[in-house]
Amino acid sequence: MQKRNWSFRITWFRVLLIIFVLIAVGAAIYRFIYGLGSITNLNDRWPWGLWIGFDLLCGIALAGGGFSTALIVHVLHREKYLPIARAALLTSMLGYIIALASLFLDIGRWFNFWRPFFFWGYHSVLFEVFWCIALYTTVQVLEFGDIFFEKVHCPPLKKVLHFFMPFLLIIGIVLPTLHQSSLGSLYVVAVDKLNPLWWSMIIPFFFVWSAFFLGPAMVTIEGTLAARAYGRKPELPVFESLTKVTLWMMIVYLIVKVIDLSYRGVLSSAFNGSFESNMFLIEMIVFVILPIIMYAIPGIRKKLWGVLTASILVVAGVIFNRMNVVFTGMAKSVGGHYFPTVWEFVITIGMWSALVLLYCFIVENFPILPKEEHVSHGSGFASKPGVHA
């Protein structure tokens, strides 16, 4: 067994994140003892709030970089994207862990969380979503084991994981495709509740397709932030090349969306001046059409600021879409009022703070980022020599 040399740099920013995590843990314990009603504004009309709408639906979509990168690198054999594959896997794994945590928090009788493992309600879409997310998170942890045993030397276990890796990669692509679409299927039954601008029989397609084209954009943002934090040169050629994937997938998304609205005869409702129509137009113009234009112009996509700005719009757009589906599109039919309490925000901030801290720890201790001579730029996150970070 070799010396492991674990490290975790403490900065004022990380101390602040640790404080957020501790406060969130205290609030979560209070919620488990006294119930959902003690710290949330959830009610019978609004059973799904911030934790499901943002942490679960958006978290799962934002973690789409894992399966989309795995498909591009390991199935389509685009080896030039290999440098960002491990970082994409790590971000995806942490995103799914956050999604599972938010799902656990939102279960009314949380002590029954184990029941879906033994009592199979296979007629329920939620049952399929739960199983797929739980299995995919397990698969990602096993995939990460291949990286883990490069640091913690254990040749027998690494050999076993290496043997099963092709099977894990295939399962790791199939499972997220199933549950990403199933999250959209949850709203197919809401035909009389969800605004027709977002409801569609093919909403499962829109969910899985948007999660896929979001993946390269998320990888670009994460890679740029990691490069800045650890004094590295951003993988701009890789990011620029990935924009071609996102560009064509977003064009297909836009065309199918317009055809679907026209076929159902509701395209005109996008221009009736209502709150819902304005939110829909913002979603499509600012977060779909504008990034397509930016990606299509070589002078923009070949610049770091350009590809980063367009990628931020794509990621923000998918979040905006999920929020519109969960809140904007459902508000009129559901009635009543819901706005998250400060404690719901506190727990959400704490969970995402934990994600950032875990990411920093893993990147600084495992070979996640490609080897490179480090460049000191005065950042408070500079890593020590010899670590792939």
With respect to residue 271, please indicate whether it lies within any of the assigned structural domains.
yes
With respect to residue 223, please indicate whether it lies within any of the assigned structural domains.
yes
With respect to residue 228, please indicate whether it lies within any of the assigned structural domains.
yes
pLDDT score of 357: 94
372 has pLDDT over 60: no
- pTM score: 0.82
Residue 9: band (very low, low, confident or very high) from pLDDT cuts 50, 70, 90: confident
pLDDT per position as a tens digit, 145-167: 888 888 888 888 888 888 888 88
pLDDT score of 100: 85
| Higher-confidence position of 296 and 236 | 296
pLDDT score of 327: 86
Q: List the CATH number of the domain containing 238.
A: 1.20.1630.10
Cα(252)–Cα(20) distance, integer angstroms? 40
With respect to residue 169, please indicate whether it lies within any of the assigned structural domains.
yes
3-state secondary structure string across 220-289: HHHHHHHHHHCCCCCCHHHHHHHHHHHHHHHHHHHHHHHHHHHHCCCHHHHHCCCHHHHHHHHHHHHHHH
pLDDT per position as a tens digit, 89-124: 888 888 888 888 888 888 888 888 888 888 887 777
Per DSSP, the residues of 127-184 read HHHHHHHHHHHHHHHHHHHHHHHHHTT-HHHHHHHHHHHHHHHHHHHHHHHHHHHHHH
Residue 168: band (very low, low, confident or very high) from pLDDT cuts 50, 70, 90: confident
Residue 1: band (very low, low, confident or very high) from pLDDT cuts 50, 70, 90: very low
Mean pLDDT of the chain: 84
With respect to residue 386, please indicate whether it lies within any of the assigned structural domains.
no
Q: What percent of the chain has pLDDT over 90?
A: 32
> Which of 10-19, 60-69, 265-274, 285-294 has the weakest average pLDDT?
60-69
With respect to residue 15, please indicate whether it lies within any of the assigned structural domains.
no
Per DSSP, the residues of 297-358 read -HHHHTSHHHHHHHHHHHHHHHHHHHHIIIIITTHHHH-S-----HHHHHHHHHHHHHHHHH
Domain count, the chain: 1
Nearest partner of 272 among 179, 351, 380, 196, judged by Cα: 196
Burial tier of 60 (Cβ tally within 10 Å: 0-12, 13-18, 19+): buried
pLDDT score of 43: 82
Cα(90)–Cα(174) distance, integer angstroms? 18
With respect to residue 10, please indicate whether it lies within any of the assigned structural domains.
no
Question: Could you tell me the residue range of the domain that residue 79 belongs to?
Answer: 46-365
With respect to residue 67, please indicate whether it lies within any of the assigned structural domains.
yes
> Which of 61-70, 91-100, 217-226 has the weakest average pLDDT?
61-70
